[in-house]
Every structure is written in structure tokens, then in C-alpha cells.
């Protein structure tokens, strides 16, 4: 990204540029001097001319709004927010106190490798900051905890910077935000789905601490059963390794529920406790987990209002296609015109089959240490796929089709280049519960 200012430039006749501190996805940050107070500040700039999406400006304005409400000694204080208009551009500026020191990333690049005691001390300081942020209503979620955004002063004081990815819980979980924001290698798995929770920042902190101990990003470390296999890469106590493993759990509910809980456990104030999603009330899914074997049985849903409405729609769709195709043939149309209806027939029959299966079909999934089997059964007809459990990469919620321009999610087993979806007609809470149970089983029972 081309710099918009050079050392010596004055912004708004008040802030004189000293040098460039860094460039991110939504702006350039400079070190500057406030000519009114002679104070050194961090000046973050966003050029409207260079903005490709309105989302970028929204994030920049949200960062300024959030920072204006924060008051913590380890978060550089908000000072000013303004814009400068020119005939060619409109530029927005966010001014904060300058966090003196070096980023953890810079320290590692210079050869520093943290010992367990030092890494614990850093973890405590960052968790105290996150605890403060999570006490807001709704909680403030940073979403980009990484070594570059944690500054350490010479006396050991820690600062958390760059709130450009900040998000609040209500906006994300209630409106179902879908924007993927964060840094690869430090992003929690749920961020790839556009979701963020208080435990999301804990994953980023865990990945950062692991980087300090290994000098390697999590993407460069071995993985086993969806989890980062780091124990062979570090020399730390089993107690701290257990704590770090909980911070890095791929499922949000398996991590500590909050920074406060993670901090208390790190200090030895209580044992590890994590939230676990319960089976949704009223669900007819049968799940049996013996540790050695997991079996999931999804019974037919029967005739429900949703099924009846979809059956009516599918019949109307198919009926229209029948008369259209028959009419084209009756008037002697070229073969090309009836052939045009084939893709629509496929969609219609697919809808009829889907509705019929949701009403009367059964799904059964079996997984053990060696193999897995997924079976669909409708009356006397059945179909199944088999595979090796060790080939399962992950279990996710994915969409294979849309209804009224809205994606319909299904539980999906990702096996190398193959994917196997099931349960698209289940309630969303049932799909999320199933995904968690399957991920838990693959990640813990088979490790």
C-alpha cells in the first residue's frame, strides 16, 4: 500500500508525521507529534478513495467509537477522530496515545524466546485486558489477538492495540454476521464462519502464546484430530500445557467461558471448567457415545407444517413443468425446447425427494477408531458411504442449496476431497449440537 504521508507532513495543521508504524487491512498507522501538546501519538489513516467496500469504513468508524468508551491503562487512550476533505479524496483519522515498546512479533524476530514463567506473565496481563473488555454489555471482542497487536514496554508493561476488527456479541450472534475478520494462524475456527464469542479472543491469545514458545504459527505446527498437537514442540509443565490446550480447543464451548475464568484457572484458583452445548429440548435424535464408538440416529420428522408447505410447492413446480413440457411437445416444438426443462425437472424431483426423505427417511452415522459409515434409508431403499475415520478432516455446517435465497445448512463430514452432508432438515440448534458432539468425539476420544 502506497504511503499517503511522509515524515514532516502536517495533518490538519496539528499532527506532524514522524514515521510509519505499520500498515493493515483498513489503514496506515503513523507515529506523529501533536503540535499543540508536543505529545507523541499514533495516527491511523483511512483513504476513502482507496476503500473498495463500505465495510472497511464501517470497521474504521466502529474502532473509533469503541475506543472512545474504553479506559484501561493497557489500552492506548483515544484522543481524537476527524476527517480531512480534498477535491481528490476524503481521509479519516483516528488518534490514540502511542504505545511505547516493541510488538511481541518484533521481539521474536530479534531472537527472543519466552520461558514458561515469562509467557505466563504475559498471559496474565492480556487476560486482565480481555476481562475488562468482556465486562461491557455487550462484551467487546477484539477478534485479532496476535503477536503484532501486543506491545511490550521495556519495563514489561503490556499494551493491546489495533481494535480495527472489534465486534460486539449482540451484532454477531443475533444478526448472524458473516464477515470473516482476523489473521490466519490466530483466528479461531468460528471466525471462518463469521462468528465471534468471548472465547474467540482466548483462542487468539493461546495461539500467540504458542508462537512465543515455539517461534512458529499454529498453521506450521502438527495437527491431530482437528486440534493443534503442540506438546512435543515445547518444554513446559503439564499443568500449563493443559491450560493452553483448553485455550486452543477448536469448539468455542470447550474453551474457558470467559477471560475471567481462564485467568482464574491460570492462577490456580479453580479447575478447568468449560461450557458444553446441551442437546436441544424436544430433539428426537438418538446419540450414543461409548468412547470407542459413536452412533447417531436421526428419525423421520413426520408430517409437519413446513414439510406440507414444501410438498405443495414442489408439486406446483413439477405440475407447471409437466404442462410446459407436454405443451411444447404437442405443438411440435423442436427437441431443444423440451430439453431446456431437464434442469428444472432435476430441481423439482430433488425437492420432492428431499421432502419425502425428511418425512419418512432415517439417517444413521457410526464412527469408531478405524472406520465410519453414513447410511440413508427410505422405506426399502437405502444408500450408504464408508470411509476411514483417520481421513476425516473436520465436521462443519455447510450449505448445498438455497431456499428463498437463504442457504440451507447441513452437517457435513469433510473427508479429504469428499464431503458427506446429512440432516439439512433438522433445526439449526440440532445441527450445531451434532457438529459439536462429532468434533468433540473426533478431537478427544480418538487422539
- Which residues are catalytic, by number? 144
Which phi and psi (to 5°) does residue 151 adopt? -105, 135
List 11's β-bridge partners, or say none.
15
For residue 238, the 8-state DSSP code is: H
Burial-class residue 170 by CB neighbours within 10 Å (0-12, 13-18, 19+). exposed
CA neighbor of 255 nearest in space, from 101, 78, 439, 414: 439
Say how far apart CA 399 and CA 402 lie, in whole Å. 7
Start-end of H helices in 155-304: 169-174, 198-214, 238-247, 259-266
Element containing residue 348 per DSSP (H, E): helix 342-360
Is the bond into 94 cis (omega within 30 degrees of 0)?
no
CB atoms inside a 10 Å sphere around CB 59? 21
For residue 274, the 8-state DSSP code is: B
Start-end of H helices in 232-341: 238-247, 259-266, 305-330, 336-340
Amino acid at each position: 500500500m502506497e504511503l499517503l504521508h511522509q515524515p514532516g507532513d502536517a495533518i490538519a495543521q496539528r499532527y506532524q508525521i514522524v514515521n510509519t508504524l505499520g500498515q493493515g487491512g483498513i489503514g496506515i498507522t503513523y507515529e506523529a507529534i501533536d503540535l499543540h501538546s508536543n505529545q507523541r501519538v499514533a495516527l491511523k489513516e483511512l483513504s476513502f478513495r482507496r476503500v473498495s467496500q463500505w465495510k472497511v469504513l464501517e470497521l474504521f468508524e466502529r474502532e473509533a467509537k469503541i475506543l472512545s468508551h474504553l479506559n484501561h491503562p493497557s489500552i492506548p487512550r483515544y484522543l481524537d477522530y476527524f476527517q480531512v476533505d480534498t477535491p481528490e479524496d476524503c481521509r479519516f483519522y483516528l488518534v490514540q496515545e502511542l504505545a511505547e515498546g516493541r510488538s511481541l512479533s518484533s521481539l521474536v524476530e530479534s531472537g527472543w524466546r519466552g520461558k514458561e514463567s515469562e509467557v505466563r506473565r504475559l498471559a496474565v496481563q492480556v487476560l486482565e485486558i480481555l476481562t475488562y473488555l468482556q465486562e461491557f454489555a455487550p462484551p467487546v471482542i477484539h477478534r485479532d489477538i496476535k503477536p503484532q497487536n501486543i506491545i511490550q514496554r521495556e519495563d514489561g508493561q503490556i499494551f493491546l492495540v489495533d481494535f480495527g476488527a472489534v465486534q460486539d456479541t449482540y451484532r454477531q450472534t443475533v444478526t448472524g454476521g458473516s464477515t470473516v475478520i482476523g489473521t490466519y494462524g490466530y483466528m479461531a475456527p468460528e471466525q471462518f464462519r463469521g462468528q465471534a464469542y468471548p472465547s474467540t479472543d482466548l483462542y487468539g491469545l493461546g495461539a500467540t502464546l504458542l508462537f512465543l514458545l515455539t517461534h512458529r504459527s499454529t498453521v506450521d505446527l502438527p495437527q491431530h484430530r482437528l486440534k493443534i498437537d503442540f506438546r512435543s514442540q515445547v518444554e513446559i509443565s503439564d499443568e500449563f500445557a493443559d491450560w493452553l490446550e483448553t485455550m486452543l480447543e477448536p469448539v468455542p464451548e470447550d474453551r474457558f467461558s470467559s477471560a475471567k475464568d481462564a485467568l482464574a484457572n491460570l492462577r490456580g484458583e479453580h479447575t478447568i471448567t468449560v461450557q458444553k452445548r446441551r442437546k436441544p429440548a424436544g430433539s428426537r435424535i438418538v446419540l450414543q457415545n461409548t468412547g470407542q464408538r459413536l452412533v447417531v440416529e436421526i428419525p423421520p420428522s413426520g408430517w409437519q407444517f413446513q414439510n406440507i408447505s414444501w410438498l405443495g410447492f414442489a408439486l406446483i413446480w413439477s405440475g407447471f413443468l409437466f404442462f410446459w413440457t407436454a405443451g411444447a411437445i404437442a405443438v411440435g416444438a423442436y427437441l431443444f425446447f423440451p430439453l431446456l426443462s431437464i434442469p428444472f425437472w432435476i430441481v423439482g424431483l430433488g425437492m420432492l425427494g428431499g421432502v419425502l426423505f425428511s418425512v419418512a427417511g432415517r439417517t444413521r452415522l457410526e464412527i469408531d477408531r478405524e472406520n465410519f459409515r453414513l447410511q440413508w434409508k427410505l422405506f426399502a431403499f437405502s444408500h450408504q458411504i464408508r470411509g476411514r475415520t483417520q481421513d476425516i478432516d473436520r465436521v462443519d455446517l455447510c450449505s448445498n442449496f438455497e431456499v428463498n435465497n437463504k442457504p440451507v445448512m447441513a452437517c457435513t463430514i469433510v473427508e479429504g476431497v469428499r464431503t458427506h452432508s446429512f440432516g439439512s432438515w433438522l433445526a439449526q440448534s440440532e445441527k450445531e449440537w451434532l457438529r459439536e458432539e462429532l468434533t468433540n468425539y473426533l478431537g478427544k476420544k480418538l487422539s
